[in-house]
Each structure stands twice: as structure tokens, then as C-alpha cells.
Amino acid sequence: MAATVATVMTTMNPEVTSNGLGYVGKTEVEASGSSSTIVKKEEELEILIEFGGGLHLLFSQKPKHTIHIPCQIPQSDLPEAPDMRYLVRWLKENLLSERPEMFGEGDSVRPGILVLINDADWELEGELEYLLKDGDEVVFISTLHGG
């Protein structure tokens, strides 16, 4: 699975136990799978992830993350480059602390969450079909206020 291949580099405070919504965040080791390596490998892409509008509360209270994902989707029959669909799934499986329904819906993100790819609306880039490149910056901003 991606969790064993990809790594995540965050600077989480180990003393933080609540993310502000009353949930306990995962530790760094849990978030990065079995590996805690933070050096990018050749066969990996480095993606900058940023959460805004309060969405960071679901991601260990850290608004910025640098993640490394494989250049090709693992366990795939064809050599496919990772796209936004893969990234959203990867974030849900590896970085999301709690309440997955607050972030994702189906393959995509929940309606009401804006996504910017390199400071451009992801609708212009093909949304879930956008193929990620090394050094891409992906921003998720929640506009939902929950009642």
C-alpha cells in the first residue's frame, strides 16, 4: 500500500493530543506508515500540502505538510503517474486524523472544500485527473461552517 512506500514530513508537536475538535491526532510514525524517513528518494515526488479555513484541525493541527509519494501508483497493473484522485485517497489514509467524512466524499473531496493546484483553481487543471508533478503545491481550503 501507499502507506508503506510514501513518507510524510511534518513537525508535529508530540504533546498535542487534541486537534481542536476534540480528537486525538496520530503520531508522526503512524502518519508516515512503517517508515519515518524524511529524505526524498529518486522514485518519489515531493508535494507541498497546505490546509486552510480550519481544515488543518483534522490534520494534526498542522497547516503545512511536505509529503513524498511514489512516482508511479503502487500495485497498479499499468505504470500510472499519481493523480489528484490518488493524492486525496493517500491523504485520507495517511494524514487525516479523524472524521474522514469532513474531508472526503467518494473519490473526491467534500463539496465546499476548495482545491488549488499551484495557486490555480483545480477545475482549470482537470480536478481529479490532474497528474501530479514534483514540487507541486496543493492547497485545500474548507468553506464549511457546520451549522
Partner 1 sequence: MSCGNPEGAVEGEEKEEVLMPTSRPVRRVDKAICNRCKKAKTSFIFRQGAYCSPCYEISLRSRFIRQLHPPLRPGAVKSTLTLYRPVVQSGQALIAVSGGAGSVAMLDMLMSRGYISRSDGAATNRTKGQKEAVWDKATVVYVEFASVTGRDERTEDIRKLSEDRGLGFIGLKVEDVYDAGLVSWLGGSERNADTSGVKVNFQQPNLPVSQEPTTSNTTPVERLQSLLASLPPASRPSLLSHILDHLLTLAALTLPNVSQLLLGETATRLAQRVISGTALGRGWTLPLELSNSFTLPDSQIVRMKPMKEISVKEAALWCRIHGLETVNYRGWDDVGPKGKEGRAKGGAASLEALTEQFIAGLSTTHPSTVSTINRTGDKLVFPGDTSGPICPLCEMPTEPDAMRWKARTALTSLTDPHSSLGSPTIAGIHTGDSTHDNFAPTLCYACLTTLSGGATDRTTGDGMVNLPPWVGQRVSTSQRMVAREQMREEIADFLLATEEE
Nearest Cα residue to 55 out of 15, 87, 19: 19
Q: Are 75 and 125 in contact (CB under 8 A)?
A: no
Can residue 121 be called a binding residue for partner 1 (CB under 8 A)?
Answer: yes
Q: How far apart are CA 67 and CA 142, in angstroms?
A: 20
Q: Which of 24, 29, 81, 120 binds partner 1 (CB under 8 A)?
A: 120
Nearest Cα residue to 81 out of 126, 36, 22: 126
Q: Which of 5, 8, 57, 87 binds partner 1 (CB under 8 A)?
A: 57
Q: How far apart are CA 59 and CA 45, in angstroms?
A: 20
Q: Which of 54, 74, 100, 104 binds partner 1 (CB under 8 A)?
A: 54
Q: Which of 13, 20, 80, 126 binds partner 1 (CB under 8 A)?
A: 20
**Which residues are near partner 1 by CB under 8 A?**
20-22, 52-55, 57, 101, 110-112, 114, 116, 119-121, 123-124, 139, 141-147
